[in-house]
């Protein structure tokens, strides 16, 4: 099964749900994955590793195969982030991630949704440092992403703040639906990998944007190719009017 995915497929660890029965209603909220969708980078975690010249490939492999959990994965990642062998401050991560570019067409897409009274959200297993910056830049209403703890001097402690489990993004969508009092059939999800399928399964509309996995392409309601988020607008037009 994982031969169709860029990485080890989440469905080898987690059972896929039955196909959704509800048809999409008039969309009131659009949920976006962040890495590879709102931002033009594969992973905010990897972006930091690349800066320090390190790699978390072994932890990724063990995590995706269910050998370690989300908190252990975060702990191992953060332990690798040192400058000249010394601990770093959280502000350093802010500086590093400030260079991550937005996806082409992202501002146009968000403006279209905002002009049509559609709320927006980020649901990402990436870092909240980047997610909050992206939300501010794009005017996104809700943010669900993972954090890194720091001490009273600003140095990262090695502990994480787990808010979104990579293979269970649907949990964050359920929290969003409850918080906003919007039913699942009126929520659309936009993602690019098999880890976004759980969102597709509980939302009224699932859109694969520039998909990196064959399974997300297959299970999405719509597929939009290329790195231009404004190409999704014609899909939204069918469900907001």
Q: pLDDT truncated to tens, each residue of the chain (241 aa)? A: 344 555 555 555 555 555 554 567 799 999 999 999 999 999 999 999 999 998 888 888 898 888 999 999 999 999 999 888 889 999 999 999 999 999 999 999 999 999 999 999 999 999 999 999 999 999 999 999 999 999 999 999 989 999 999 999 999 999 999 999 999 999 999 999 999 999 999 999 999 999 998 889 999 999 999 999 999 999 999 998 7
Give, in order, the Cα–Cα distances in Å from 190 to each of 6, 128, 147: 18, 18, 22
Contact 102, 132 (CB under 8 A): no
d(CA 226, CA 211): 9
pLDDT confidence of residue 66: 86
pLDDT tens digits, one per residue of 194-210: 999 999 999 999 999 99
Longest dimension (CA), the chain: 56
CA angle 36, 21, 223 (to 5 degrees): 30
pLDDT tens digits, one per residue of 160-207: 999 999 999 999 999 999 999 999 999 999 999 999 999 999 999 999
Q: Where are the alpha helices (DSSP H) in 127-182?
A: 128-138, 169-180
Q: Which domains are seen in the chain, by residue range? A: 15-41+102-240 (3.40.50.1000)
């Amino acid at each position: 099964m994982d031969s169709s995915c860029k990485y080890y497929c989440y469905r080898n660890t987690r059972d896929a749900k039955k196909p959704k029965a509800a048809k999409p209603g008039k969309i009131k909220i659009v949920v976006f994955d962040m890495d590879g969708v709102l931002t033009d980078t594969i992973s905010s975690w990897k972006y930091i590793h690349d800066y320090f010249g390190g790699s978390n490939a072994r932890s990724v492999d063990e995590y995706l195969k269910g050998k370690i959990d989300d908190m252990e994965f975060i702990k191992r990642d953060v332990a690798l982030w040192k400058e000249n062998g010394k601990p770093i401050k959280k502000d350093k991560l802010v500086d590093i991630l400030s260079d991550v570019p937005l996806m082409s067409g992202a501002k146009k897409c968000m403006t279209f949704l905002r002009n049509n009274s559609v709320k927006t959200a980020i649901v990402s297993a990436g870092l909240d440092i980047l997610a909050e910056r992206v939300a501010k830049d794009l005017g996104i209403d809700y943010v669900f992403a993972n954090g890194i703890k720091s001490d009273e001097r600003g140095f990262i402690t090695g502990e994480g703040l787990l808010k979104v489990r990579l293979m269970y993004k649907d949990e964050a969508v359920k929290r969003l639906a409850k918080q906003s009092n919007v039913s699942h059939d009126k929520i659309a999800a936009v993602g690019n990998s098999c880890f976004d399928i759980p969102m597709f399964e509980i939302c009224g509309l699932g859109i694969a944007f520039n998909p990196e996995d064959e399974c997300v392409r297959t299970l999405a309601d719509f597929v939009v190719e290329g790195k231009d988020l404004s190409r999704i607008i014609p899909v939204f037009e069918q469900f907001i009017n």
